[in-house]
């Protein structure tokens, strides 16, 4: 069985994406599809029947429709090597992208027809893959963002989530993430997210610059270690005891000395 | 009324262990729901931001902060309380010599670990209030005069931005306040935290035509208060025996409601 590391997967993907010769490109894409099938999907399908060939054809079709060789799918392909559910997720992304090809009027009619046939077939034979759910952790890892960012995307309607009847989030639909258009949009959001977390550029001179300059110029000294001074320690302790002894424990009486007036409210103009 | 003269000297030549009023290099951070809300007065310390990892049901929570010079606000009692306690125990109960007990306690980084600090900002941050700040008339702002010898520019401690920081951050100290300046700081802190709900301090100053320098509890009377004026006179009062009533200025709507609009 062909086992590829994430690095080998990236290498294979890159070679397929940059191959100029049509036959060579097809051969490499078949390797891509076969490795996904061999490593993770063998148990799900009868590879000695028609399904293996159909999966390979689905992958080739996506490449022809320019819906396969992007960074998002590369990350999914690499995840097959390290994530138990990576194979399922790569497969669900293939199904989602076939659906996109079906809907894209700019794609040649024969490709769309083939895509429809594959899409319908896979949805019929692997409905669980088509409805694959990603956890919030998965989405965060996939886009290199914080979980808080993913929650915000859901809250802002950038991602659809499956929820319990009580409203708690169960996961994000794979179809939300797998299509090339949402993946691009979410990748842009992730980049914006990363930028947002970085340094703040207000144009103001930052205080830490003068701190570093003062330290470098010897204008700041190291703070000496603390010393035990019995007299001072006694004085501080006595002061605290006195404060505790004088603190009221049962609340204050609101019995004002003569001449004191308690204000009822503040003037509000 | 002329502003009170600044304590002379304002800064000390001494090099004591960490104490209230020290200006030290520290980080600052505040939490807010909008990462793009960056008030002008804190621009010099707002260097970076990060979102806290929290369940999605909670509001978006951002930490915004950076490093700068900050003033130690924690009182000296608080800075050495656990340290002194441990030294005393080791010395009195375990019969260790004082220097050995102190050395053992000094090696324990968990003692008195957290310190309260406020950022030191340039006076130029408050162009419209510079004169009032320098005169000590702005609650929440504690004026630090320039010192040519120390190459220190006129600055302001923002008492409204108080941060709890890990003491282990504190390695470098820029300034040590004189005892008189430390007393002035304590009054500024007390005024910022307790007098702001009532203008009694100002009223007293107005009536007396003198500035208040210190306020302390009368040691012979649990509800007696002594107010020391800058000319050295002391006024004795009976302590106001209750919190100010509710009903002061309030927001017309909750911040969350305002955000949604």
Question: Cβ–Cβ of A268/B249 closer than 8 Å?
Answer: yes
Q: Could you read off the pLDDT of A58-112 as tens digits, one per residue?
A: 999 999 999 898 888 888 888 888 877 788 888 888 888 898 899 889 999 999 9
Average model confidence (pLDDT) for chain B?
A: 83
Q: B242 pLDDT exceeds 50?
A: no
Same domain, A1 and A127: yes
Q: Name the residue of chain B whose CA is nearest to A229's CA.
A: B84
User: Could you tell me how far CA B170 lies from the centroid of its own chain?
Assistant: 16
Q: A132 pLDDT exceeds 60?
A: yes
Please report whether residue B2 resides in a domain. Answer: no
Question: Cβ–Cβ of A211/B67 closer than 8 Å?
Answer: yes
Handedness of CA A71, A72, A73, A74 (dihedral sign): positive
User: Where is B157: in which H helix or E strand?
Assistant: strand B155-158
The residue-averaged pLDDT of B72-99 equals: 91
Cα(A59)–Cα(A175) distance, rounded to whole angstroms? 17
Please report whether residue B248 resides in a domain. Answer: no
CA distance A175 to chain B (A): 21
Same domain, B34 and B112: yes
Please report whether residue A245 resides in a domain. Answer: no
CA distance B186 to chain A (A): 15
Cα(A223)–Cα(A220) distance, rounded to whole angstroms? 9
The residue-averaged pLDDT of B17-45 equals: 94
Task: Classify the complex by whether its ipTM is higher than 0.90, answering yes or no.
Answer: no
The residue-averaged pLDDT of B223-233 equals: 77
Please report whether residue A56 resides in a domain. Answer: yes
Q: B251 pLDDT exceeds 70?
A: no
The residue-averaged pLDDT of B188-200 equals: 69
User: Within the 80-119 window of chain A, which residues sit less than 8 Å (CB to CB) from chain B?
Assistant: none
Same domain, A20 and A69: yes
Please report whether residue A222 resides in a domain. Answer: no
Please report whether residue A247 resides in a domain. Answer: no
Same domain, B158 and B226: no
Q: Which residues contact A223 (CB under 8 A, 6 or more apart)?
A: B17, B18, B22, B24, B170, B171, B172, B173
Q: Which of A131, A157, A185 is the last residue of a domain?
A: A131
Question: Cβ–Cβ of A223/B222 closer than 8 Å?
Answer: no
Q: Kindly list the distances between the CA atom of residue B87 and the CA atoms of A93, A213, A232, B93, B111, in Å, as whole numbers in the listed order.
A: 65, 37, 13, 10, 11
- Cβ contacts of B222 on chain A, cutoff 8 Å: 246
Question: Cβ–Cβ of A256/B171 closer than 8 Å?
Answer: no
Q: B12 pLDDT exceeds 60?
A: yes
Q: B255 pLDDT exceeds 50?
A: no
Cα(B49)–Cα(B31) distance, rounded to whole angstroms? 10
Assigned token pair, A171: 């996961």
Does residue B249 contact residue A268 with C-beta atoms inside 8 Å?
yes
Please report whether residue A87 resides in a domain. Answer: yes
Q: Are strands B172-175 and A221-222 parallel, antiparallel or unpaired?
A: antiparallel
Domain CATH number, residue A156: 1.10.1660
Q: Which of A176, A197, A218 is the last residue of a domain?
A: A197
Tell me if chain B has a CB within 8 Å of the CB of A146: yes
Please report whether residue B104 resides in a domain. Answer: yes
Most confident of A191-200, A215-224, A230-239, A241-250: A215-224
User: Within the 206-245 window of chain B, which residues sit less than 8 Å (CB to CB) from chain A?
Assistant: 217, 219, 222, 238, 240-242, 244-245
- Cβ contacts of B207 on chain A, cutoff 8 Å: none
Same domain, B210 and B186: no
**Count of residues making up chain B:** 261
User: Within the 125-154 window of chain B, which residues sit less than 8 Å (CB to CB) from chain A?
Assistant: 150-151
Cα(A109)–Cα(A103) distance, rounded to whole angstroms? 11
Does residue B111 contact residue B82 with C-beta atoms inside 8 Å?
yes
Question: Cβ–Cβ of A205/B15 closer than 8 Å?
Answer: no
Assigned token pair, A76: 């999914």
Please report whether residue B259 resides in a domain. Answer: no
Please report whether residue B73 resides in a domain. Answer: yes
Same domain, B85 and B152: yes
Q: Which residues contact A35 (CB under 8 A, 6 or more apart)?
A: A2, A4, A9, A12, A80
Same domain, B101 and B216: no
Q: Name the residue of chain B whose CA is nearest to A206's CA.
A: B44
Question: Cβ–Cβ of B244/A263 closer than 8 Å?
Answer: yes
Please report whether residue A208 resides in a domain. Answer: no
Same domain, A80 and A170: no
Same domain, A141 and A44: no
Q: Name the residue of chain B whose CA is nearest to A154's CA.
A: B56
Same domain, B146 and B210: no
Backbone angles phi, psi at B56, to 5 degrees: -60, -20
Residues spanned by the domain of A101? 1-131
More reliable by pLDDT, B196 or B36: B36
Tell me if chain A has a CB within 8 Å of the CB of B259: no
- Cβ contacts of B119 on chain A, cutoff 8 Å: 207
Among A220-229, A242-251, B92-101, name the one with the lowest average pLDDT.
Answer: A242-251
Same domain, B29 and B142: yes
Same domain, A122 and A30: yes
Confidence of residue A228 (pLDDT cuts 50, 70, 90): confident
Q: B245 pLDDT exceeds 90?
A: no
Same domain, A137 and A55: no
Please report whether residue B7 resides in a domain. Answer: no
Question: Cβ–Cβ of A221/B119 closer than 8 Å?
Answer: no
Q: Which of A131, A147, A164 is the last residue of a domain?
A: A131
Assigned token pair, A33: 């599809």
Among A29-33, A68-72, A126-130, B114-118, name the one with the lowest average pLDDT.
Answer: A126-130
Same domain, B74 and B146: yes
Residue A121 CB neighbours (<10 A): 16
Same domain, A126 and A141: no
Please report whether residue A163 resides in a domain. Answer: yes
Q: Name the residue of chain B whose CA is nearest to A203's CA.
A: B43
Please report whether residue B249 resides in a domain. Answer: no
Cα(B195)–Cα(B199) distance, rounded to whole angstroms? 6
| Residue to test with chain A: of B35, B37, B56, most A Cβ within 10 A | B56
Tell me if chain A has a CB within 8 Å of the CB of B247: yes
- Cβ contacts of A233 on chain B, cutoff 8 Å: 80, 84, 87-88
Confidence of residue B141 (pLDDT cuts 50, 70, 90): very high
Q: A193 pLDDT exceeds 70?
A: yes
Among A13-22, A100-109, A122-131, A257-266, name the one with the lowest average pLDDT.
Answer: A257-266
Question: Cβ–Cβ of B66/A207 closer than 8 Å?
Answer: yes
Tell me if chain B has a CB within 8 Å of the CB of A170: no
Cα(A160)–Cα(A72) distance, rounded to whole angstroms? 18
Q: A1 pLDDT exceeds 60?
A: no
Instruction: Provide the domain count of chain B.
Output: 2
User: Could you tell me how far CA A108 lies from the centroid of its own chain?
Assistant: 34
Please report whether residue A102 resides in a domain. Answer: yes
Among A194-208, A247-261, B127-141, B214-228, name the one with the lowest average pLDDT.
Answer: A247-261
Please tell me whether residue A221 adopts helix, strand or coil conformation. strand
Cα(B72)–Cα(B118) distance, rounded to whole angstroms? 7
Q: Which residue, A237, A189, A144, A257, is CA-closest to B239?
A: A257
Among A244-248, B60-64, B105-109, B249-253, name the one with the lowest average pLDDT.
Answer: B249-253
Upper half-sphere CA count for residue A172 (Cβ side, 13 Å): 27
Q: Kindly list the distances between the CA atom of residue A9 and the CA atoms of A57, A62, B182, in Å, as whole numbers in the listed order.
A: 19, 18, 66
The residue-averaged pLDDT of B75-102 equals: 90
More reliable by pLDDT, A234 or B178: B178
Please report whether residue B220 resides in a domain. Answer: yes
pLDDT for residue A180: 61
Cα(A232)–Cα(A83) distance, rounded to whole angstroms? 62
Does residue A239 contact residue B120 with C-beta atoms inside 8 Å?
no
Same domain, B111 and B208: no
Same domain, A17 and A114: yes
Same domain, B224 and B140: no
Same domain, A40 and A91: yes
Instruction: Provide the domain count of chain A.
Output: 2
Question: Cβ–Cβ of B245/A262 closer than 8 Å?
Answer: yes
Q: B220 pLDDT exceeds 70?
A: no
- Cβ contacts of A196 on chain B, cutoff 8 Å: 35, 49
Same domain, B235 and B118: no
Same domain, B30 and B146: yes
Residues spanned by the domain of B203? 199-242
């Amino acid at each position: 069985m062909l086992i590829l590391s994430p690095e080998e997967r990236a290498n294979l993907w890159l070679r397929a994406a940059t191959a100029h010769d049509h036959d060579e490109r097809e051969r490499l894409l078949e390797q891509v599809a076969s490795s996904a099938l061999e490593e993770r999907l063998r148990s799900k399908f009868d590879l000695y029947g028609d399904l293996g060939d159909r999966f390979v054809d689905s992958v080739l079709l996506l490449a022809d429709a320019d819906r396969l060789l992007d960074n998002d799918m590369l990350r999914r392909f690499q995840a097959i090597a390290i994530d138990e559910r990576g194979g399922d997720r790569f497969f669900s992304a293939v199904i989602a992208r076939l659906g996109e090809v079906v809907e894209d009027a700019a794609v040649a009619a024969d490709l769309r027809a083939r895509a429809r046939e594959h899409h319908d077939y896979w949805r019929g034979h692997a409905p669980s893959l088509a409805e694959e759910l990603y956890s919030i952790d998965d989405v965060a890892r996939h886009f290199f963002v914080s979980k808080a960012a993913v929650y915000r995307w859901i809250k802002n309607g950038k991602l659809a989530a499956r929820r319990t009847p009580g409203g708690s989030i169960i996961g994000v639909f794979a179809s939300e993430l797998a299509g090339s258009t949402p993946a691009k949009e979410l990748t842009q959001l992730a980049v914006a997210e990363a930028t947002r977390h970085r340094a703040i550029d207000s144009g103001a001179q930052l205080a830490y610059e003068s701190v570093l300059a003062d330290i470098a110029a010897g204008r700041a000294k190291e703070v000496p270690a603390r010393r035990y001074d019995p007299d001072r320690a006694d004085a501080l302790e006595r002061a605290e005891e006195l404060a505790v002894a004088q603190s009221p424990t049962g609340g204050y009486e609101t019995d004002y000395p003569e001449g004191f007036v308690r204000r009822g409210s503040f003037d509000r103009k | 009324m002329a502003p009170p003269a600044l304590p002379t000297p304002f800064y000390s030549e001494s090099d004591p262990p960490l104490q209230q009023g020290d200006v030290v290099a520290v980080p600052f951070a505040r939490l807010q729901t909008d990462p793009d809300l960056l008030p002008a007065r804190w621009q010099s310390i707002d260097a970076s931001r990060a979102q806290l990892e929290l369940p999605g049901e909670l509001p978006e929570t951002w930490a915004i902060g950076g490093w700068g010079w900050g003033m130690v606000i924690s009182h000296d009692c608080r800075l050495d309380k656990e340290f002194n306690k441990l030294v005393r125990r080791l010395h009195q109960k375990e019969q260790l010599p004082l220097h050995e007990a102190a050395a053992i306690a000094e090696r324990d980084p968990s003692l008195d670990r957290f310190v309260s600090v406020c950022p030191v900002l340039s006076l130029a941050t408050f162009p419209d209030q510079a004169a009032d700040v320098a005169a000590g008339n702005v609650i929440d702002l504690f004026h630090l005069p320039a010192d040519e010898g120390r190459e220190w520019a006129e600055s302001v401690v923002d008492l409204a931005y108080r941060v709890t920081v890990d003491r282990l951050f504190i390695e470098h100290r820029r300034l040590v306040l004189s005892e008189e300046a430390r007393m002035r700081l304590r009054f500024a802190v007390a005024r910022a935290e307790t007098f702001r709900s009532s203008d009694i301090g100002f009223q007293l100053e107005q009536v007396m035509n003198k500035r208040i320098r210190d306020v302390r509890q009368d040691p012979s009377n649990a509800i007696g208060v002594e107010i020391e004026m800058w000319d050295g006179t002391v006024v004795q009062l009976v302590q106001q025996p209750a919190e100010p009533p509710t009903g002061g200025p309030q927001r017309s709507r909750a911040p969350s409601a305002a955000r949604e609009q």
